[in-house]
Chains A and B, each alone.
Chain A
């Protein structure tokens, strides 16, 4: 009992979870195949599922879609990271200090309710149509949401922890680093995970208007030339990227917050 041993991986459980998770995908694929082969939906609306792998190969070999993917991933990461770097301290301050919250919360709430596409015309005027404009869209979309979510995480720290720390001698400035930060970190991390999902949707919004590369732009072009299979394939790629990001975050959070998963 002395050392906490790592639990051995229960492969049976993993396999079961993967199988369960696969069910909706299989149902969707089945419905798709049915629609094409039984109800003869026109390929212009719904291309045959079997064509998807071939389309994907084409996209990587001929269209060099990986370049667009990299461009998009870079934009998302850069915009999102900037939002994280600025939103985390501000949100924590607002959660910790009533006056800071009273000062910033109404403004954040105001901007948060502006739909992100509203910023597209303005940012195009300000930054042109390059990477900075795409990043600014993602930043604007993520930052204001993040601030409020992080504020909430900071507010959820039970005041008893601060009092306990003060009774143990901690001066006020130490409460931030030794109580607020570790106590709210798991929920803050969760808000990153949720927000990066939104960041992806904003990216595609940004790339559908005034872009010259990126996955969103690729979809737009495919639609223009009625390359419907490619639209579907690009959607598949975005979905897979999202799934991988989510998995990465979940694994990281398990690693970082072992104390959470190590409850009884």
Chain B
């Protein structure tokens, strides 16, 4: 493979998205320009309700832009794309399938794997996310963190080049969330795929990211981009480092202004 360190995995130009609403329309995204570099862990950080899900859903091909350009691996997006795996905000694993069958679900559509390998490959990935003992369990039996591990393994099993994650740990308690962040980074270190990770949690963003894209309040624009220069592998101890805390404060103030704007806007109807 050629050195693609500088290649752009996802390129967004002049993206706009408005939804029709009961009265007029709702602008969710406006004037979005961004380049997400291949092999980078990119975090999209923004206040809740700003349009983060809309942005990542457009990249995923689940939603159409109102105008503008979105290129994934230099191709315009026209629908869900086999190069993109996705982990959603809500638990979306299929309750009628066992853990291993859930993970194997997408293998059918990827010609890389022979049918008889599907289950063994699914088990291998269950092992990778720490669910080796639960391959035959149904989803409803699992805790929230375990459900997201299944979703993660299902997305990774076909080895997509880009992993899209929409607040995947948003519903978890803070302890589990921290464990999942560390686990995700461990997995990522092994193949360094491109990750686009959406969150509203500043600490999560700093801990995970190579580069953070900060969104304004709705309609979302990207108001700041910054690199996180903490070395890898990241450790929990880093959360207490001066640079980490300074960065957190810096971003906190940027976001607070945006959140205020939104509150005022809501109050004015």
A-side contacts of B134, CB under 8 Å: 1-2
B109 to chain A, nearest CB (A): 3
Given A164-B88, A168-B109, A169-B106, the answer on whether A259 and B140 have CB atoms closer than 8 Å is yes
B52 to chain A, nearest CB (A): 16
Q: Which of A165, A182, A262 touches B138 (beta carbons < 8 Å)? A: A262
Q: Is A163 an interface residue (CB 8 A)?
A: yes
Q: Is A62 an interface residue (CB 8 A)?
A: no
Q: Is B105 an interface residue (CB 8 A)?
A: yes
Name the residue of chain A whose CB is nearest to the CB of B110. Answer: A169
A-side contacts of B109, CB under 8 Å: 168-171
B126 to chain A, nearest CB (A): 11
Query: Do A3 and B136 touch across chains, with their CB atoms under 8 A apart?
Result: yes
C-alpha spacing A164/B134, complex, angstroms: 21
Q: Which of B84, B92, B108 touches A164 (beta carbons < 8 Å)? A: B92
Q: Is B80 an interface residue (CB 8 A)?
A: yes
A-side contacts of B92, CB under 8 Å: 160-161, 163-164
C-alpha spacing A165/B234, complex, angstroms: 32
Q: Is B49 an interface residue (CB 8 A)?
A: no
Query: Do B94 and A179 touch across chains, with their CB atoms under 8 A apart?
Result: yes
**Number of B residues with CB within 8 Å of any CB on chain A:** 34
- Per-residue A-contact encoding for B146-176, CB less than 8 Å = 1, 0 else: 0000010011001000000000000000000
Q: Is B90 an interface residue (CB 8 A)?
A: yes
A-side contacts of B106, CB under 8 Å: 168-170
C-alpha spacing A185/B110, complex, angstroms: 27
Which residues of A from 139 to 180 have beta carbons under 8 Å from B?
Answer: 160-161, 163-171, 178-179
C-alpha spacing A264/B142, complex, angstroms: 8
C-alpha spacing A160/B139, complex, angstroms: 15
Name the residue of chain B whose CB is nearest to the CB of A1. Answer: B133
C-alpha spacing A170/B109, complex, angstroms: 7
Query: Do B141 and A167 touch across chains, with their CB atoms under 8 A apart?
Result: no
Name the residue of chain B whose CB is nearest to the CB of A163. Answer: B62
B-side contacts of A98, CB under 8 Å: none
Query: Do B133 and A264 touch across chains, with their CB atoms under 8 A apart?
Result: no
Q: Is B70 an interface residue (CB 8 A)?
A: no
C-alpha spacing A169/B109, complex, angstroms: 6
C-alpha spacing A131/B96, complex, angstroms: 40
Which residues of B from 93 to 130 have beta carbons under 8 Å from A?
Answer: 93-97, 105-106, 108-110
C-alpha spacing A34/B112, complex, angstroms: 77
**Number of A residues with CB within 8 Å of any CB on chain B:** 27
B-side contacts of A185, CB under 8 Å: 96
Query: Do B140 and A167 touch across chains, with their CB atoms under 8 A apart?
Result: no
Query: Do B141 and A160 touch across chains, with their CB atoms under 8 A apart?
Result: no
Residue with the highest number of chain A CB atoms closer than 10 Å, among B85, B88, B96 = B96
- Per-residue B-contact encoding for A249-260, CB less than 8 Å = 1, 0 else: 000000001111
Query: Do B60 and A167 touch across chains, with their CB atoms under 8 A apart?
Result: yes
Given A160-B90, A167-B84, the answer on whether A4 and B140 have CB atoms closer than 8 Å is no
- Per-residue A-contact encoding for B64-94, CB less than 8 Å = 1, 0 else: 0000000000000001101011101010111
A-side contacts of B86, CB under 8 Å: 164, 167
- Per-residue B-contact encoding for A1-34, CB less than 8 Å = 1, 0 else: 1111000000000000000000000000000000
B173 to chain A, nearest CB (A): 17
B-side contacts of A262, CB under 8 Å: 138, 140-141
- Per-residue A-contact encoding for B20-33, CB less than 8 Å = 1, 0 else: 00000000000000
Q: Is A183 an interface residue (CB 8 A)?
A: yes
**Extra 19 A-B pairs, beta carbons < 8 Å, given A167-B155, A168-B85, A169-B82:** A4-B136, A161-B94, A164-B92, A165-B105, A167-B62, A167-B84, A167-B85, A168-B158, A169-B109, A170-B105, A170-B106, A170-B109, A171-B109, A178-B105, A182-B97, A257-B96, A258-B138, A262-B141, A264-B140
- 30 A/B residue pairs, CB under 8 Å, sorted by A: A1-B133, A2-B134, A2-B135, A3-B136, A4-B136, A4-B141, A160-B88, A160-B90, A161-B94, A163-B62, A163-B88, A164-B92, A166-B79, A167-B80, A167-B84, A167-B86, A168-B105, A168-B106, A168-B158, A169-B80, A169-B82, A169-B109, A182-B94, A258-B138, A259-B96, A259-B97, A259-B139, A260-B95, A263-B141, A264-B140
Binding site for B on A (CB under 8 A): 1-4, 160-161, 163-171, 178-179, 182-183, 185, 257-260, 262-264
Kindly list the 7 A-B residue pairs having the minimum CB-CB distance in the complex, ordered from nearest.
Answer: A169-B109, A168-B106, A263-B140, A164-B92, A167-B86, A182-B96, A259-B138
